[in-house]
Amino acid sequence: MLRASFLYLSHRRGLQRFVTRQRLTASLAYRFVAGDHLDDAVRVVSDVNRRGWSASLDHLGENVSEEKAARAATDDYLAAFERIAAERLNANVSVKLTQLGLDISPDLCRELLTGILQRAQQLDNFVRVDMEGSAYTQRTLDLVLALHERFPNSGVVLQSYLYRTADDVARLNAAGVRVRLVKGAYDEPPEVAFPKKADVDGKYEAEMQELLLHGVYPAIATHDDRLIEAAKRFAREREIPSDRFEFQMLYGIRRDLQDRLLREGYRVRIYVPYGTEWYPYLMRRLAERPANLLFIVRSLIRERRAA
């Protein structure tokens, strides 16, 4: 119920304007977001790298409705690649196709993604295309598959809550496309997605095994202890070396787990979002764990009392 409410709120543009201006929600957002500017993200990624993790930079933004905004987002990504190279950061980038104009025109989106992939290729870097709501799944996979032959430095995300994902895993494995596997963060109807968490978790485990056996450098992106243990066990049993896959987690979530995996010798990448368009991202993080809201309100009250 709370999950659905936060996901509903994530689409309310009017509320976005109000919430983004409030100090309380801004403090909440900066638990999960590096800061408003590329400089903030670079500082966080330098720290993340110093501690031993790699990173994926996400310049926040989605569902842009003007070409100008899509082109500006592309420029931001090109600038991010320059900084990653100049500062020798161990980081790639994650992009959303609706940020590159998918809602405006598929041709525009293809042109902008191609530009980003070209620059990434010149700099020997990698671009991960995030997966959004199910209305975009087919178009996202079609575009990534169409560009992958020319740009093998591209990969995509699959969501185990969708019924279709087992087939997509097989298709992308056959094409040699790198996959990040997640459970899925959007509000999907029972016609396309498993409503029960237990079913999503079961599918995640099966798809993760397929990716570990037949995929190209898969990313196991979850904070779920049980699934992480299952991945480690499966890789050990099948003698899959720990440099053939990586774990991925979100900035600000389960630092203990991120540390532990690193100590155990696994590769871990932290997804680091930055920028002012944090409202829908924050709402999805609250939907995953509504207790986050309570946690932050309590710590802010404590800070006020101590001040």
Ligand X SMILES: Cc1cc2nc3c(=O)[nH]c(=O)nc-3n(C[C@H](O)[C@H](O)[C@H](O)COP(=O)(O)OP(=O)(O)OC[C@H]3O[C@@H](n4cnc5c(N)ncnc54)[C@H](O)[C@@H]3O)c2cc1C
Q: Which is nearer to ligand X, 71 or 254 (CB)?
A: 254
How would you class 248 by CB atoms within 10 Å of its CB: exposed for 0-12, middle for 13-18, buried for 19 or more? Answer: buried
Q: Report the nearest approach of ligand X to the CB of residue 285 (Å).
A: 4
Residue 223 binds to ligand X (criterion: CB under 6 A): yes
Out of 288, 290, 293, 300, point to the residue binding ligand X (CB under 6 A).
288
Which of 119, 128, 178, 180 is labelled catalytic? 180
Residue 248 as a binder of ligand X (CB under 6 A): the answer is yes
Which helix (H) or strand (E) is 221 found in, with range?
A: strand 219-221
Query: In this chain, which of 28, 57, 250, 261 binds ligand X, going by CB under 6 A?
Result: 250
Closest CB 9 distance from ligand X, rounded Å: 15
**Coil, helix or strand at residue 66:** coil
Cα–Cα dist 192/204, whole Å: 16
- Rounded to the nearest whole angstrom, what is the least distance from the CB of residue 307 to ligand X in the complex? 26
CB of 37 to ligand X, least distance (A): 21
| Shortest reach from residue 253's CB to ligand X, in Å | 5
Interface with ligand X, residue 221, by CB under 6 A? yes
Query: Is the Cα torsion angle 101, 37, 90, 47 positive or negative in sign?
Result: negative
Question: Residue 21 catalytic?
Answer: no
Residue 184 as a binder of ligand X (CB under 6 A): the answer is yes
Query: 71 near 112, Cβ under 8 Å?
Result: yes
75 tagged catalytic = no
Q: Is 273 in the site for ligand X (CB under 6 A)?
A: no
Residue of 92, 159, 165, 258 interacting with ligand X (CB under 6 A) = 159
Check binding of 130 to ligand X (CB under 6 A).
yes
**Residue 56: beta bridge partners?**
92, 271
Pair 208, 230: CB distance under 8 Å:
yes
Q: Answer yes or no whether residue 25 interacts with ligand X by CB under 6 A.
A: no
Nearest residue to 201 via CA among 182, 177, 174, 173: 182
As a whole number of angstroms, the distance between CA 73 and CA 105 comes to 15
Q: What is the distance, to the nearest Å, from the Cα of residue 246 to the centroid of all Cα atoms in its chain?
A: 14
- Joined together, the tokens standing for residue 173 give 């494995």
**Which lies closer to ligand X via its Cβ, residue 38 or residue 97?**
97
The one catalytic residue in 76, 103, 130, 201 is 130
292 contacts: CB under 8 Å, gap ≥ 6? 28, 31, 285, 286
The answer to whether 186 contacts ligand X (rule: CB under 6 A) is yes
How many residues interact with ligand X (rule CB under 6 A)? 23
What values do phi and psi take at 136, rounded to 5? -105, -5
Stretch that binds ligand X, among 71-79, 106-114, 140-148, 219-227 (CB under 6 A): 219-227
Q: For residue 159, which phi and psi values (nearest 5 degrees)? A: -115, 120
Residues at the interface with ligand X (CB under 6 A): 130-131, 157, 159, 182-186, 221-224, 248-250, 253-254, 271, 285, 288-289, 292
Active site residues: 130, 180
